[in-house]
Amino acid sequence: MGQLAQIWRHPIKAHGREALVGATLEPGRALPFDRQWGVTHTAAKLGERNDGGWQHCRNFSRGAGVPLLQAMDARMDAVTGTITLTHPKMPGITINPDLPADQDKFIQWLQPLTPSGRPQPTGIFKAQNALTDSETLSLSIMNLASHDAICAHIGRPLSPLRWRGNLLIRGFDAWDERSWVGKNIRIGSAEFFIRKEITRCRMTEASTRTGERDADTLGALRAGWDIQEMGVHAVVIKAGDIAVDDEIEVLS
């Protein structure tokens, strides 16, 4: 058995990350408040569907096109509904993403981080559940041993937060998680179905410290293992609580 090493959520898709010590999970739902909001841009095409249902990731600002977003941290206060965001190039800001005035303030705050020639941020979209990369809502699991193997191939240590995973796990061999696809696992009292591997984009090339692209993570995956995947999508199938240091059991 391995263990759950870290839990991370990203309240605003691609805009900051927050460490948790535990969470309560429900079947078919994402980590609470993970990717609850997304930042729309000038090239977004949401169509007539604007009821908070799932939308494709191309409609939102992401680190693949705006690498400086990778250096953003977040802290959410669920009682007040506010999110505090920090970035090494900007003074911190605290907003309620549901309030129009705060949305406007946040969009203005983001503009210096967005390269010219890229779609510019325009507003905040709130999802009913989560703006995950696929319509099947899931949590993402990253094996720290697989991350270490990539670092060894590149030749220097990198932060595992580049992968923007929800659950970082330890105690397994590198790439063990790839064999879990189609199987169930248990973490704490929750159970998950491992749906598929996660195809990676250029956001992982950017430093979580500076937001500058400084590592060819996609090239390392191709050269070392002939893949573009890192981590797996895990769909909650049994409600339960998870916490850092919980054991992980592969069930079938």
Residues 142 and 242 in one domain: yes
Residues 173 and 223 in one domain: yes
pLDDT category, 46, cuts 50, 70, 90? confident
Residues 117 and 160 in one domain: no
Number of domain units in the chain: 2
pLDDT digit string, tens, across residues 162-212: 999 999 999 999 999 999 999 999 999 999 999 999 999 999 999 999 999
- Give the domain extent around 104: 37-126
Strands (E), the chain: 2-9, 18-20, 22-25, 37-41, 73-77, 82-87, 90-95, 121-126, 139-143, 167-170, 184-187, 190-199, 229-238, 240-243, 247-250
Residues 54 and 21 in one domain: no
pLDDT at 51 over 70: no
Instruction: Output the pTM of the full model.
Output: 0.95
pLDDT the model gives residue 50: 61
pLDDT at 49 over 80: no
Q: Is 161 helix (H, G, I), strand (E, B) or coil?
A: helix
Q: What percent of the chain has pLDDT over 90?
A: 91
Residues 20 and 88 in one domain: no
Out of 82, 110, 126, a domain closes at 126
Residues 110 and 227 in one domain: no
Residues 121 and 147 in one domain: no
pLDDT digit string, tens, across residues 65-98: 999 999 999 999 999 999 999 999 999 999 999 9
Out of 87, 110, 126, a domain closes at 126
Residues 158 and 65 in one domain: no
Residues 242 and 179 in one domain: yes
